[in-house]
């Protein structure tokens, strides 16, 4: 969710309150790694020079490291994006286009010239009414706003701006000019158009939960977050067509469906690049306003300025607290120099044979305010990065997922069920990526058509016996305000119906499946909806014998969640015992260092017959090193941080404590070398973490890729919390773990 919308009512809220190495030689020895690079193995030193030959031409190429390069990027039709789109010296300070989508007026609603002012006054009075609870004030204000949205939708954005100014909503985020922020945020072409649709189409009656979710998760804290809901037996019986468990034949048949081979498959897995073409070397890296490393960001402790910096105006060097370095910074998104180094390293790690497959789990576009972004900026990032994947990975098929930042306005996606044919407002994006992925040679015409139909999602069979299902998880993300329309239904968009049908087809064809998306469904439950992630949990249970692995991104952190057998639609009643483990979802570290992390790349080893994970190897580059040595004759140095099997396969502490419960016999306290890193393995990691807090400390270091910025995780309290998150595959389970120790950002 953008900063502006995530705390839209902040001002009103104030009114309402008057590897390296092999597994240990014996069960007594544990894998350790000091939090510095002396414990990691350097594997590749990238070039210092930017690879200009990878591009047809350059708009700008610095003589040294005084600025970032700006290559010419062409769209899917061969047309060059203009240099002004990513000129770091000229950040946008004008409101988005006024051509955004609005709902159609309701035929039964009564419009009048006086209505906008009348509704404005009634909303203002309601918000100031201290005799009402905060929750009631929020709900009543929504209902008043709905009257205007249904009668005169074109009047709503201006009223949002007016109310924003009146209540100074944008005090949060160190806005230099609240009134201007309001004007930039809530125009029809920005968030105002989408919010008008939400007001018009949401069911705000007492019988609906839409208002409860809007006032608790979109407008934080006005209403209590509703308790997690249960999916009824009737609903699940209908969803799974009366077969909520796999047949005995499916449960007992061999998982070896691929081509036999003595070698594991090598799969590249990256996520969350967040290319920032407007990263400005020398700009404020420790900003208190704006998105750091942009020319219009500043630190108010050294630069006293009221209002936005006008287009082309920059902060004087003497008023910069920390200058943004050439290779990137932990509080900023990835500049071109870092992105090029990462791709060079990906190619190197693939060796002469390259990769058998590559996965990218979403988010190409940099973080930014709504008015700083555009459809063209999204297309620019998509074109630039997918072209680089093809260039550096050769003939390797890349399977991708749509991220919450890969649309405009950011984080939004409209379901097909939206009235008045308003679901088509984001079809430009699905049409564009389908054409782009087909051009790269990764999709057939049939698969490209699926992308256009399923919001960027699709199913592909890249190898014998393997079906890979990519879906758009923006439809369970709380940052997508369209998800607060019809909140009583767990699958308004139909994406989970698509996933279920594809898994059923895979089961019938005796295939293994990988499921991938961007927004993770569990861990701490920070930004997901309860019903969709509950339904997904039931889907994982039903197709546990078909799903070999699940891949997500979004959090930027190195984590995972285990799924356990669910016998009913109440996911909070699941017995999270290792003997009941049925599924594993991994969350890829990001390439962007935002926030307080080191860039990461992952290479996965896959069994070629079962398509289960046998190991993975995590690589990273410590940005702090190069920031202290910018005059070296080489580029970024990339290290091997750890291998999963070597790091986590020692379960001797749990075994000694009597808590090891996986259905796999250990080899001197270790997971057998021939056994896959499946759900039982990762559930056992959670068990080991609980009885060996030092492993939780190590896991915490790896979450941020050995970043010195990571907060500490010491002792039993942190170990217990980490184990809880590891066992949380849904919103409800994650929220039950609390929030302490969930993140290293």
HEC string of 470-487 equals ECCHHHHECCCHHHHCCC
- Classify residue 616 as exposed, middle or buried by CB count within 10 Å of its CB (0-12, 13-18, 19+): buried
668: left (phi over 0), alpha (psi -120 to 50) or beta: left
Half-sphere exposure at residue 306, Cβ-oriented, CA atoms within 13 angstroms = 2
State whether residue 447 is helix, strand or coil: helix
Quote helix, strand, coil % in the chain, to nearest 5: 40, 15, 50
How many other C-beta atoms lie within 10 A of the C-beta of residue 53? 7
CA distance 78 to 56: 11
* Cβ(339)–Cβ(273) below 8 Å: yes
**Which contiguous run of DSSP H or E holds residue 247?**
none
CB contact burial 449-472 (16+ within 10 A = b; e otherwise): ebbbbbbbbbbbeebebbbbbbbb
- Please state whether beta strands 70-71 and 58-60 pair in parallel, antiparallel, or not at all (unpaired): antiparallel
How many other C-beta atoms lie within 10 A of the C-beta of residue 308? 18
State whether residue 604 is helix, strand or coil: strand
* Cβ(462)–Cβ(433) below 8 Å: no
State whether residue 10 is helix, strand or coil: helix
Q: Which residues, including other chains, have CB under 8 Å from residue 679's CB and lie 6 or more apart?
A: 562, 563, 581, 582, 583, 584
**In the chain, count of helices (H) and strands (E)?**
23, 15
Q: What does DSSP assign to residue 234?
A: H
- Classify residue 606 as exposed, middle or buried by CB count within 10 Å of its CB (0-12, 13-18, 19+): buried
CA distance 187 to 31: 54
Q: Read off φ and ψ for residue 549, nearest 5 degrees.
A: -165, 160
* Cβ(655)–Cβ(355) below 8 Å: no
44-94 pLDDT, tens per residue?
999 999 999 999 999 999 999 999 999 999 999 999 999 999 999 988 777
Give the model's pLDDT for residue 10: 40
CA distance 327 to 242: 55
Give the model's pLDDT for residue 170: 59
* Cβ(234)–Cβ(244) below 8 Å: no
Answer positive or negative: Cα dihedral of 157, 160, 165, 170.
negative
Give the model's pLDDT for residue 97: 73
Long-range CB pairs of 237-246, under 8 A, 24+ apart, other chains included: 239/500, 239/535, 239/538, 240/500, 240/538, 240/542, 243/542, 244/538, 244/542, 245/542, 246/507, 246/542, 246/543, 246/544, 246/545, 246/546
Q: Which residues, including other chains, have CB under 8 Å from residue 568's CB and lie 6 or more apart?
A: 230, 233, 236
How many other C-beta atoms lie within 10 A of the C-beta of residue 158? 16
* Cβ(284)–Cβ(292) below 8 Å: yes
Residues of the chain with pLDDT under 70: 1-39, 98, 170-175, 627-631
Q: What is the DSSP string of 189-232?
A: IIIIHHHHHHHHHS--STT-SHHHHIIIIITTTSSPPPPPPPPP
Q: Read off φ and ψ for residue 658, nearest 5 degrees.
A: 80, 20
- Please state whether beta strands 41-45 and 637-643 pair in parallel, antiparallel, or not at all (unpaired): antiparallel
Q: Read off φ and ψ for residue 10, nearest 5 degrees.
A: -60, -40
Give the model's pLDDT for residue 30: 52
Give the model's pLDDT for residue 91: 86
What token pair was written down for 287?
Answer: 């900003």
Let me know how long the chain is: 745
How many other C-beta atoms lie within 10 A of the C-beta of residue 663? 8
How many other C-beta atoms lie within 10 A of the C-beta of residue 444? 12
What token pair was written down for 367?
Answer: 């973080």
**Which contiguous run of DSSP H or E holds residue 133?**
none
CA distance 367 to 590: 13
Q: Read off φ and ψ for residue 332, nearest 5 degrees.
A: -135, 160
CA distance 482 to 493: 10
Bridge partners (DSSP) listed for residue 60 = 70
Give the model's pLDDT for residue 370: 86
248-259 pLDDT, tens per residue?
999 999 999 999
Give the model's pLDDT for residue 293: 97
CB contact burial 229-268 (16+ within 10 A = b; e otherwise): bbbeeeebeebbeeebebeeeeeeeebebbeeeeeebbbb
What token pair was written down for 47?
Answer: 């070039």
- Classify residue 77 as exposed, middle or buried by CB count within 10 Å of its CB (0-12, 13-18, 19+): exposed
Give the model's pLDDT for residue 36: 56
Q: Read off φ and ψ for residue 40, nearest 5 degrees.
A: -110, 160
Q: What is the DSSP string of 277-324?
A: TT--TTSBSS-SBSSTTSTT-B-TTT----SPPPTT----GGG-SSBP
């Amino acid at each position: 969710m953008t900063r502006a919308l995530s705390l839209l009512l902040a001002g009103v809220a104030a009114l309402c309150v008057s590897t390296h190495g092999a597994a240990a030689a014996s069960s007594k020895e544990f894998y350790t790694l000091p939090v510095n690079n002396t414990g990691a193995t350097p594997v590749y030193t990238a070039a210092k020079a930017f690879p200009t030959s990878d591009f047809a031409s350059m708009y700008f190429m610095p003589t040294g490291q005084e600025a970032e390069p700006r290559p010419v990027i062409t769209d899917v039709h061969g047309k060059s994006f203009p240099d002004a789109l990513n000129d770091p010296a000229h950040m946008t300070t004008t409101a988005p286009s006024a051509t955004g989508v609005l709902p159609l007026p309701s035929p039964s609603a009564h419009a009048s010239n006086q209505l906008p002012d009348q509704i404005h006054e009634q909303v203002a009075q309601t918000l100031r009414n201290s005799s009402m609870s905060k929750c009631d004030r929020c709900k009543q204000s929504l209902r008043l706003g709905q009257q205007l949205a249904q009668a005169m939708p074109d009047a709503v954005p201006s009223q949002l701006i007016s109310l924003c100014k009146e209540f100074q909503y944008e005090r949060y985020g160190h806005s230099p000019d609240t009134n201007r922020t309001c004007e930039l945020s809530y125009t029809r072409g920005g968030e105002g158009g989408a919010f008008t649709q939400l007001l018009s189409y949401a069911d705000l009656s007492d019988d609906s939960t839409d208002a409860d979710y809007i006032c608790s998760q979109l407008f934080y804290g006005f209403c209590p977050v509703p308790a997690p809901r249960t999916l009824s037996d009737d609903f699940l019986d209908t969803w799974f067509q009366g077969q909520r468990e796999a047949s005995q034949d499916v449960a007992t048949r061999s998982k070896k469906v691929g081509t036999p081979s003595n070698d594991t498959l090598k799969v590249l897995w990256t996520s969350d690049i967040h290319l920032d073409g407007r990263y400005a070397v020398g700009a404020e890296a420790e900003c208190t306003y704006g998105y750091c490393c942009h020319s219009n960001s500043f630190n108010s402790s050294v630069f006293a300025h009221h209002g936005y910096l006008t287009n082309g105006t920059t902060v004087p060097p003497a008023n910069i607290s920390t200058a943004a370095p050439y290779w990137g910074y932990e509080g900023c998104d990835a500049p071109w120099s870092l992105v090029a180094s990462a791709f060079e390293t990906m190619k190197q790690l693939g060796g002469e044979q390259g990769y058998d497959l590559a996965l990218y789990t979403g988010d190409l576009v940099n973080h930014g305010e709504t008015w700083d972004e555009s459809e063209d900026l999204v297309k620019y990032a998509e074109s630039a990065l997918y072209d680089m994947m093809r260039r550096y990975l050769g003939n390797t098929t890349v399977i991708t997922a749509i991220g919450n930042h890969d649309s405009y306005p950011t984080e939004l996606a409209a379901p097909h069920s939206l009235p008045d044919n308003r679901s088509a407002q984001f079809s430009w994006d699905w049409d564009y990526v389908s054409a782009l992925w087909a051009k790269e040679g990764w999709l057939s015409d049939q698969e490209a058509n699926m992308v256009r139909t399923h919001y960027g999602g699709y199913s592909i069979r890249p190898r014998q016996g393997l079906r890979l299902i990519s879906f758009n998880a923006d439809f369970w993300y709380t940052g997508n305000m369209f998800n607060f329309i019809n909140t009583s239904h767990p699958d308004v968009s139909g994406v989970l119906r698509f996933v279920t049908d594809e898994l059923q087809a895979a089961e019938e064809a005796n295939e293994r499946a990988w499921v991938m998306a961007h927004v993770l469904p569990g861990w701490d439950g920070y930004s997901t909806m309860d019903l969709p992630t509950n339904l997904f949990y039931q889907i994982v249970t039903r197709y546990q014998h078909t799903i070999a692995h699940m891949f997500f991104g979004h959090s930027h952190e190195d984590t995972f969640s285990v799924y356990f057998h669910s016998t009913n639609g109440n996911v909070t009643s699941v017995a999270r015992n290792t003997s009941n483990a049925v599924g594993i979802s991994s969350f890829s570290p990001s390439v962007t260092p935002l926030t307080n992390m080191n860039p990461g790349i992952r290479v996965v080893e896959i069994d070629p017959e079962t398509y289960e994970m046998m190991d993975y190897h995590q690589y990273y580059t410590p940005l702090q090193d190069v920031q202290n040595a910018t005059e070296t004759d080489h580029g970024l140095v990339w290290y091997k941080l750890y291998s999963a099997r070597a790091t986590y396969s020692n379960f001797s502490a749990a075994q000694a404590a009597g808590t090891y419960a996986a259905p796999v016999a250990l080899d001197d306290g270790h997971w057998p070398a021939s056994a896959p890193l499946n759900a039982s393995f990762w559930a056992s990691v959670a068990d080991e973490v609980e009885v060996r807090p030092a492993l939780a400390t190590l896991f915490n270091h790896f979450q941020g890729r050995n970043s010195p910025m990571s907060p500490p995780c010491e002792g039993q309290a942190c170990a217990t919390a980490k184990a809880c998150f590891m066992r949380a595959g849904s919103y409800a389970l994650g929220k039950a773990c609390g929030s302490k120790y969930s993140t290293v950002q």
